[in-house]
Amino acid sequence: MSPDNDKDQPEPVYELIGEEAPGFHSDQGLGGGEGSSGAAGTPGAAGVALRRALKDCWASVRSLKFWLQSLTVFLLSWASAVLLVIVLVTGGTYTTDAHFWAYILTAALLVLGASLLAFLWGLSIRQTADDAGSTGLLHAWFFAAARGMAFTVASTVGLLILATASNAPAELAGVAAGVMVFESVVFAGIATGAAWLLPGRGGQLLAWSTTAFLLLGNVAAVIALLPAVRQYEPARVVLNVQRDDFGRIASYECSPEFLGIVEVFHTERVVWLGVSHPLLIFALFAGEASPGTASVSWLPAELETAGAGTQIPCVGSATAGANEQGETPVPLALTGIGTQLAMAGTLLLAGQAASRRREWLLSS
């Protein structure tokens, strides 16, 4: 080929790919929108959604609105705790000892606050054309959970200040922080999973129903089912009774001598429903973190007794065994955590499957 012909040939064009390409966006692969080259189900989709969620969360926590919401929830929790202490504990006055109770109740109420905030944040994220797919669900879930974790950090700082002022164990603030992080992930997952499973009012109804069960319905169900687990059984005479620091029967022996017929509530059959409540999960872990504090360990001790069903010893055909030693057959805290994870996971998986199906229908 002659040099003149070479001059007539067009110059080769090199197309830039990757992050240097014009029009490249970091949210590629997040749905079926324009500029999206990756499928929603690719292995890197979750990582891309997480990076985008963290970026959006960072922009959110720098806003005045976020901090006003966080401060409002913290102050409402603290004020409600103080009011409850004055009305229920100290009998109308706020003494020095009331600081400790206010600190505990504030931590418990903040667990509820973190749960509700993460739920509302997850439910308020609207699906767009780019976020209609399953990775849009992941982005919404990660975003709401990350905001809940940011709220947890701010609330933990406030709890540590209260712990120092009331000379209370700081371990409870750490327990509250851990439970708040967990509940933020769970309730954000419930909201986003339901919203992507049933877009519109149907998803909101499903999300609110699930949340209402975890915050109210589970405990109400236990109370409602108590008459169903009531029985009258024979009991024998109890010997060599030893009690723990809370007055519970720690060990005993059963005599062959018949005592009579007693009324028994088999709470071990229903108590697992109630321990999925965020407050009870916090109480169970708080009791383990501060076993020497009777005011903190009292409720977990009662829950363990109800879980073991050992309120009345030597009932029925019981012999010397695990139940008579007051041991809980199933860890209540793990039962509550497992119940919450199962509900949130079911909604997330169902929402992801529904999103992928809608993507497939739109693309076909």
Has residue 101 got a pLDDT over 60?
yes
Q: What is the pLDDT of residue 155?
A: 95
More confident residue, 109 or 127: 109
Q: Say which range, 223-227, 243-247, 309-313, 336-340, has the weakest mean pLDDT.
A: 243-247
**What is this structure's pTM?**
0.78
> What values do phi and psi take at 236, rounded to 5?
-115, 170
Could you give the CA distance from residue 242 to residue 62 in angstroms, rounded to a whole number?
A: 57
Q: What is the pLDDT of residue 147?
A: 93
Could you give the CA distance from residue 5 to residue 245 in angstroms, rounded to a whole number?
A: 100
Q: What is the pLDDT of residue 92?
A: 67
Tokens standing for residue 151: 């709220």
Runs of H (alpha helix) within 167-321: 171-197, 201-212, 218-225, 271-274, 278-289, 294-308
Contact of 117 with 69, CB cutoff 8 Å: yes
Q: What is the pLDDT of residue 29?
A: 33
Q: Stretch 46-54: mean pLDDT, rounded?
A: 82
Could you give the CA distance from residue 20 to residue 4 in angstroms, rounded to a whole number?
A: 35
Most confident stretch, 118-127, 295-304, 338-347: 338-347
Q: Say which range, 8-17, 155-164, 273-282, has the weakest mean pLDDT.
A: 8-17
Residue type present at position 17? I
Could you give the CA distance from residue 270 to residue 228 in angstroms, rounded to a whole number?
A: 10
Helix (H, G, I), strand (E, B) or coil at 167: coil
Q: Stretch 277-291: mean pLDDT, rounded?
A: 85
Q: Say which range, 64-68, 93-97, 207-211, 339-343, has the weakest mean pLDDT.
A: 93-97
Q: Stretch 90-118: mean pLDDT, rounded?
A: 86
Could you give the CA distance from residue 153 to residue 173 in angstroms, rounded to a whole number?
A: 11
Could you give the CA distance from residue 214 to residue 216 in angstroms, rounded to a whole number?
A: 6
What's the maximum distance between 2 C-alpha atoms anywhere in the chain?
118
Has residue 167 got a pLDDT over 50?
yes
Most confident stretch, 2-6, 184-188, 232-236: 184-188
Has residue 85 got a pLDDT over 80?
yes
Q: Stretch 297-301: mean pLDDT, rounded?
A: 73
Q: What is the pLDDT of residue 18?
A: 40
Q: Stretch 162-189: mean pLDDT, rounded?
A: 93
Q: What is the pLDDT of residue 168?
A: 84
> What values do phi and psi take at 238, rounded to 5?
-95, 135
Q: What is the pLDDT of residue 99?
A: 84
* Residues in contact with 53: Cβ distance below 8 Å, sequence separation at least 6, in sequence order: 138, 139, 140, 141, 142, 143, 146
Q: Mean of the per-residue pLDDT values for the chain?
A: 79
More confident residue, 242 or 61: 61
Q: Are strands 230-243 and 249-265 parallel, antiparallel or unpaired?
A: antiparallel
* Closest by CA position to 333, among listed 196, 182, 190, 216: 182
Q: Stretch 175-181: mean pLDDT, rounded?
A: 96
Could you give the CA distance from residue 330 to residue 307 in angstroms, rounded to a whole number?
A: 8
Q: What is the pLDDT of residue 327?
A: 47
Q: What is the pLDDT of residue 127?
A: 60
Tokens standing for residue 324: 């008579």
Has residue 299 got a pLDDT over 60?
yes
